[in-house]
Structure formats: C-alpha cells, structure tokens
RNA sequence: GGAGGGAUGACAGAGCGGCCGAAUGUACCGGUCUUGAAAACCGGCGUGGGCUUGCCCACCGUGGGUUCAAAUCCCACUCCCUCCGCCA
C-alpha cells in the first residue's frame, strides 16, 4: 500500500510517478478527496465522542454526590449526543472502507530509474551470461541434438509424464518421474544448501489466509490468478514470498536483527487465468511448480545491498549450472503491483529456442510492510516500516527444461553438470530405459 | 469431532460497569550514591490516528450487542493449554 501521508504531502509527485505505471490521475484525485472527507468526518465523530465521554464522567460524579436530577439530565443529553456520534461514526467507517478498497488497488511507486514502458516488450536487457564468456567465448551455438524441446526429451527418457499429470489434476500440472523427479529434488537441495549459511531455512504452510494474501499485494488485485480453497477460507500460495512476508506481521523487529534473511522452498500454485492458451507446452507455464525463494526484511539503507545479494545468488546458481541467461530491468508497464523495482533473470532454452523467466528479484520498499504492518525499532527509539526484498533462486520447472535441453548429448542421453553429482549420484547421466 | 480452562503492555500478573490506557513486579533507559561495579534510592519507559502542538480519539485475542458510560456484562468466532475420540 502506498503512503497516504506522502500522497497528502506531495500529491503531484505521487500522481506523476504512478502515471508512469498507467494509474489514472482521476483515480488518485478521488483518493485524495476521500482522504480529506474521511479526516473531516473523523474529526466530527471524535468531537462528539469526546463530549459523550465527558458527560458520562459527569454522570458518575453526580451519582456519587447523590445529585439524581442532575445525573438524569446529563444522561439524556449524552444519549442524544451518543445517537449523533453513532451516525457520524457510521459515515466515517463507510468512507474509510471505500478509501481502503481504492487504496489497495493502487500499485507501488516505481523507483526513479525504472525504465518506462507499456509491457514486457519494453523491458531493458542489461546483460547476458554464458559459459566461457569471461574467457572471451562467443555466445554459444547449440547443436542439433540440443535443439529438442524438453517435452520430447521427457517422453523419450521417461522422466516427464505430462499426460499422467493431466489425468490427475488437468493440463499444466506436470508429473516428473524417475531421474526427472530426482533432478527436481536435487535442484531444491542444491540451492537450499547454497543459501543456508546466510539465510534461515523456513518450511511454511502451503496455504494462506486471505489476510496473509493481502499483505503481499496478491489480493485483492490478482484474485483470478489464485487457487482458492473456499470451504476453509484459504488460498494456495503462489510463492513463498506470501508466508515469508507475513511471518512477522504486526510485529516490531529490533534493528539489530536486520537484515533478517529467510529462504524457503515451496510449491507455487498459479491459475494463469490471463494466459490461457499461451506457452502451454511442456513446462513453459504450469499451475504448480517448486521454487526456492530468498527473502529479507531490512532497513531502507540495507535494501539495495539485500537486493544485490539475492540477484547475485540467483545468478550464481545459474552459472554453477552452466546455463545461459540474460538479465532484464523490468519497465514500469511490466512491474508487479507491489514492486518498486524488479530485475528478471531469463534462462535460454535451446530446445524451445526461447528465454524463460526463472527468477524475479524485487524491492518493495515499504509497500508490503505497510500492509503487513512489519516495523522495526530504530536506534533513536522510534519505529519505522521495514523494507522487503525478495527473489527466486530459483524456479525449478523451467530450469529443469533448460537443463535437459542444454545437456542433451548426440546419443539422446542427458549428462547433467557435475555440481549436481552430490545429489544425483549415479544418475547424473540420464539414459533411455533399457539402453 | 466432544468436554473443560485460558487470552490484559517486552515478560509476569492485578483489575466491585464510572478519573483504568490500565495497579504491582521484572526487564530496559537516565540520574544519585560508589575508586569502579553491584545493591539501594529517584525519575522515565506501549502502539497508532486527527488537528488549532496542546489537546483529542482509538486499541486489554477478533467481531457484534447492552449502557449515559465496557478491559469489566451478553452473543458469536479465532487461537493456545488439558483430557477423550479419530488419525499420517
């Protein structure tokens, strides 16, 4: 949620910044108007309430002095004022709710250096990485045997069974088997081991309350992309960011605890309602995938370094896996609701011949902290909202795809990179059954 | 799922419907004393919001209700603890 006080203080700045993301000026003016109305009504209601309280106090005093007539008179005056106060408060509540609903739909103010743009086509590619690049090697050329899409490799090697997945849960719910399932497990283990020295490992619930989903900004705006378990008023989490952000909801952290860094691997559920029919083949876009998330609560001063650390870790894993990737600076039009700045990592999939998003590293400023009410006590003794930063490292379904394509050999088998040897053991090379 | 008990400030723990935003203790911060420290003593010590910056308002698990007035009474819900049942 954006800062109402800031909107009051510098409305033109906020409006201009949000206009870059396509927020209508009239929407902001409406909010400014509601805020003014709210405060005016609030004053009136509070004035009445103060009077009722004062009269009530006097009633008690009169009773103690056995002044029954006076008490009776004060009571009836107070009763009348009380009725007025109730009505005034109802008006306050109505406006406050309206204001809050509108405010929840407003996205975060983008960082000044976020490039302008309408959609993902305007994202700015800042750099690429591939094996041997630092030694001057040219961008890799992929051989014909690497130009096979992972869904074909999956069937050929018996490690990805999309049909069974569809049979169980519908399309876009993948089922991995054998070495394919083990590869997925290995990737999570590999990443968590890499982070655990500096990030506390968390295993959160896979479902969250509505309130929890609100704190990250996934609700109310993206309702259609979330899986709902209506009977129990729960939602399937779309990312570990949701539980991690709310872990310290309504709490005040000590500045000495910051940055508080957490990591978690969870299943991530996404309905992909707006993407029906797009990129549906194989693992390009699925309803459920595993992802390791890195997360930090920090002070404003620590945010930049925390963001850089997460990005470096995500890149470090991609480099360790020897996958080609590129780094994108997301434009204003493609930024997630809650984010002030996001850097995406896209891995190159030679078999599909496309770049696939496998990480999104975001700085939310205090936008999520304001919703979740996560604060810290400063050295001066005051409280302030924390900044939240998070990023994937990494989302495994697409990594799985890029790995089996990149490391496919001419005989059709897949020889995975050595970093996975501790986890894959004797299955580092995946061959056709019976061959 | 059934029965009972509980939820108050950082923690512990009081609180006949009316000067209760809340006693007291501990912790914490400052001061006196001391060579220093401890002890003792003195003072301070919740979070938000509004505006005329001095005041006002809200918050005692959550949401309703009763009342001139609710931490205190009533109703519903949530969570925690104990016991029973079921169960990976």
A53-112 residues near strand B (Cβ < 7 Å)? 53-57, 59-61, 63, 75, 78-79, 82
Under a CB-based contact definition with an 8 Å cutoff, are residues A172 and A285 in contact? yes
Model confidence band, residue A433 (pLDDT cutoffs 50, 70, 90): confident
Average pLDDT in chain A: 93
- Lowest-pLDDT range, A213-217, A307-311, A384-388? A213-217
List the structure tokens of A360: 């999104």
A43 CA from B14 C1′ (Å): 35
Q: CA of A123 vs C1' of B12, distance in Å?
A: 56
pLDDT confidence bin for A435, thresholds 50/70/90: low
How many residues comprise chain A? 435
Task: Answer yes or no: is A212 CB < 7 A from strand B.
Answer: no
Distance between CA atoms of residues A236 and A152, nearest Å:
30
Sign of CA dihedral A279, A284, A289, A292: negative
Tokens linked to A393: 């490292």
Give the strands of the sheet with A374-377, arranged side by side.
A251-254, A374-377, A383-385
Q: Is the CB of A197 under 7 A from strand B?
A: no
Q: How far is the CA of A62 from the C1' of B8 (A)?
A: 30
Q: Which of A396, A358, A206, A384 lies closest to A300 in space, CA to CA? A: A384
Q: Which nucleotide is nearest to A64 (CA to C1')?
A: B18
Question: How far apart, in whole angstroms, are the C-alpha atoms of residue A147 and residue A405?
Answer: 7
How far apart, in whole angstroms, are the C-alpha atoms of residue A221 and residue A235? 14
Give SS3 for A28: helix
A201: pLDDT confidence band, cut at 50, 70 and 90?
A: very high
Strand pairing category for A207-209 and A354-363 = unpaired
How many Å from the CA of A363 to C1' of B86? Answer: 46
Query: pLDDT at residue A8 above 80?
Result: yes
- This prediction has a pTM of 0.93
The complex's ipTM works out to 0.87
Structure confidence by residue, pLDDT tens digits, A44-103:
999 999 999 999 999 999 988 889 899 999 999 999 999 999 999 999 999 999 999 999
Residue nearest to nucleotide B10 (CA to C1'): A252
Q: How many Å apart are CA A106 and CA A111, to the nearest integer?
A: 15
What mean pLDDT is predicted for residues A199-203? 94
Convert A368-395 to b/e letters by CB count within 10 Å (16 or more is b). Answer: bbbbbebbbeeeeeeebbbbbbbbbbbb
Strand B, nucleotides < 7 Å from a protein CB: these are: 18-19, 47-51, 56-58, 68-69
In angstroms, the CA A14 to CA A21 distance is 11
| Structural domains of chain A ordered from first start | 4-104 (1.10.287.40), 120-430 (3.30.930.10)
Residues 20-39 of A with CB under 7 A from strand B: 39
Q: What percent of chain A has pLDDT over 70?
A: 99
HSE-up (13 A, CA, CB side) for residue A356: 31
Provide, in whole angstroms, the distance separating residue A168's CA from nucleotide B38's C1': 70
Distance CA A109, CA A18 (A): 6
Q: Which of A185, A157, A161, A192 is nearest to A174 (CA)?
A: A161
φ, ψ (nearest 5 deg) of residue A271: -75, -25
Residue closest to A247 by CA, chosen among A300, A208, A191, A189? A208
pLDDT tens digits, A138-174: 999 999 999 999 999 999 999 999 999 999 999 999 9
Taking phi first (over 0 means left), then psi (-120 to 50 degrees means alpha), and beta for anything else, what does residue A269 get? Answer: beta
Residue A69 neighbours by CB under 8 Å, 6+ apart: none
**Residue A285 Cβ under 7 A from any strand B atom:** no
How far, in whole angstroms, is CA A259 from its chain's centroid?
18
- 3-class DSSP state for residue A209? strand
CA-to-C1' span, A50 to B73 (A): 23
Nearest nucleotide, CA A45 to C1': B57
Give the distance, in angstroms, between residue A13 CA and nucleotide B50 C1'. Answer: 24
Q: Give tens-digit pLDDT for A10-41.
A: 999 999 999 999 999 999 999 999 999 999 99
Q: Which residues contact A200 (CB under 8 A, 6 or more apart)?
A: A261, A262, A263
Residues 236-275 of A with CB under 7 A from strand B: 252
Rounded Cα gap, residues A373 and A251, in angstroms? 7
User: What are A103-144's pLDDT values in tens digits?
Assistant: 999 999 999 999 999 999 999 999 999 999 999 999 999 999
Structure tokens at A399: 């990594």
Say how far A150 CA is from B73 C1', in Å.
68
pLDDT value for A379: 74
Tally Cβ neighbours within 10 Å of residue A135.
Answer: 6
How much is the pLDDT for A252? 84
Residue A326 has pLDDT above 60, yes or no: yes
Per the DSSP assignment, residues forming a β-bridge with A168 are none
A251-254 and A374-377 beta bridge pairing: parallel
Q: Of all nucleotides in the shown strands, which has a C1' nearest the CA of A93? A: B58
Gap from A377 CA to B28 C1', Å:
14
Query: Which residues of chain A between 297 and 356 are close to nucleic strand B, CB under 7 A?
Result: none
When pLDDT is cut at 50, 70 and 90, the band that residue A294 belongs to is: very high
Per-residue pLDDT band at A389 (split at 50, 70, 90): very high
Beta bridge partners of A325: A129, A347
The whole-number Å distance from A3's CA to B63's C1' is 27
């Amino acid at each position: 949620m954006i800062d109402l006080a800031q909107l009051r203080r510098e409305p033109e700045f906020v409006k201009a910044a949000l206009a870059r993301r396509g927020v209508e000026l009239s929407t902001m003016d409406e909010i400014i108007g509601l805020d003014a109305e709210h405060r005016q009504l609030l004053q009136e209601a509070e004035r009445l309430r103060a009077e009722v309280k004062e009269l009530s106090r006097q009633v008690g005093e009169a009773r103690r002095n056995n002044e029954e007539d006076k008490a009776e008179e004060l009571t009836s005056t107070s009763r009348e004022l009380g009725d007025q106060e109730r009505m005034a408060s109802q008006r306050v509540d109505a406006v406050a709710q309206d204001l809050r609903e509108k405010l929840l739909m407003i996205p975060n103010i983008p960082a000044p250096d976020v490039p302008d743009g309408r959609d993902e086509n305007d994202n700015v590619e800042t750099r690429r990485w591939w094996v041997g690049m630092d030694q001057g090697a040219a961008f890799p050329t992929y051989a014909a045997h690497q130009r096979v899409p992972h869904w074909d490799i999956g069937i050929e090697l018996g490690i990805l069974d999309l049909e069974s997945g569809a049979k169980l849960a519908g399309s876009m719910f993948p089922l991995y088997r054998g070495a394919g399932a083990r590869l997925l497990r290995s990737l999570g283990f590999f990443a968590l081991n890499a982070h655990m020295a500096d990030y506390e490992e968390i295993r959160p619930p896979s479902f969250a309350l509505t309130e929890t989903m609100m704190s990250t900004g996934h609700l109310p705006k993206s309702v259609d992309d979330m899986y709902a378990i209506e009977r129990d008023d729960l939602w399937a989490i779309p990312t570990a960011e949701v539980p991690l952000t709310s872990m310290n909801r309504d709490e005040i952290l000590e500045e000495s605890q910051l940055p508080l860094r957490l990591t978690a691997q969870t299943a991530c559920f996404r309905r992909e309602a707006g993407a029906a029919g797009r990129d549906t083949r194989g693992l390009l876009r699925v309803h459920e995938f595993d992802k390791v998330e890195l997360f930090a609560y920090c002070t404003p001063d620590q945010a930049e370094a925390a963001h850089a650390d997460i990005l470096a870790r995500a890149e470090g894993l991609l480099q360790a896996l020897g996958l080609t990737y590129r780094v994108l600076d997301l434009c204003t039009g493609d930024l997630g609701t809650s984010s002030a700045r996001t850097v995406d990592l896209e891995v190159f999939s030679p078999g599909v011949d496309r770049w696939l998003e496998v990480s999104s590293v975001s700085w939310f400023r205090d936008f999520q902290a304001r919703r979740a009410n996560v604060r810290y006590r400063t050295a001066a003794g005051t409280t302030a909202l924390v900044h939240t930063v998070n990023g994937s490292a990494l989302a495994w379904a697409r990594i799985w795809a890029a790995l089996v394509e990149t490391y496919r050999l001419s005989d059709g088998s897949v020889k995975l990179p050595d970093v996975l040897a501790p986890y894959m053991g004797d299955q580092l090379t995946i061959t056709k059954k019976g061959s």
